[in-house]
């Protein structure tokens, strides 16, 4: 089933997934990214769910600020992924892990 994304949309989606996957590798070492086509009213899109059982994010608001990093990065991964996708949500519990849910709607 085709979702109807343009080539540039696919690049944006791949970039957002790459940023989130990098965080899983750096902070949790292991995790899972699940992709599925979703429909809502007359829209079709791609739902991305990234889950890990790593250390969790103690301050999500701070983690979403451009330039903030607890690693050795530019601190653009989470806020950058949020800007690239149409919907973005983080659920995290310290010591238990993080789940990021993102959706990109086809234009």
Phi and psi torsions of 26, nearest 5°: -70, -45
Asked if the structure places residue 61 within a domain, the reply is yes
Could you tell me the CATH number of the domain that includes residue 84? 3.30.565.10
Q: Give the predicted TM-score (pTM) of the model.
A: 0.87
Mean pLDDT of the chain: 88
In 1-107, beta strands by DSSP E: 31-40, 43-52, 87-93, 97-105
Number of domains in the chain: 1
How many residues in the chain?
Answer: 107
pLDDT tens digits, residue range 25-71? 988 999 999 999 999 988 999 999 999 999 999 988 888 887 756 55
Token representation of residue 79: 């806020």
pLDDT of residue 101: 98
Cα 16 → chain centroid: 6
Closest CA to 27 of 65, 62, 73: 73
Residue written as tokens 């690239």?
84
- With respect to residue 1, please indicate whether it lies within any of the assigned structural domains: no
């Amino acid at each position: 089933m085709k979702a109807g994304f343009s080539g540039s949309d696919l690049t944006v989606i791949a970039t957002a997934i790459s940023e989130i996957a990098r965080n899983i590798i750096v902070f949790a070492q292991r995790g899972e990214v699940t992709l599925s086509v979703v429909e809502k009213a007359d829209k079709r899109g791609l739902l991305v769910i990234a889950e890990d059982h790593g250390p969790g994010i103690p301050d999500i608001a701070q983690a979403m600020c451009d330039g903030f990093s607890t690693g050795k990065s530019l601190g653009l991964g989470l806020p950058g992924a949020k800007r690239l996708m149409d919907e973005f949500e983080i659920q995290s519990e310290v010591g238990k892990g993080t789940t990021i849910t993102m959706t990109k709607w086809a234009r």
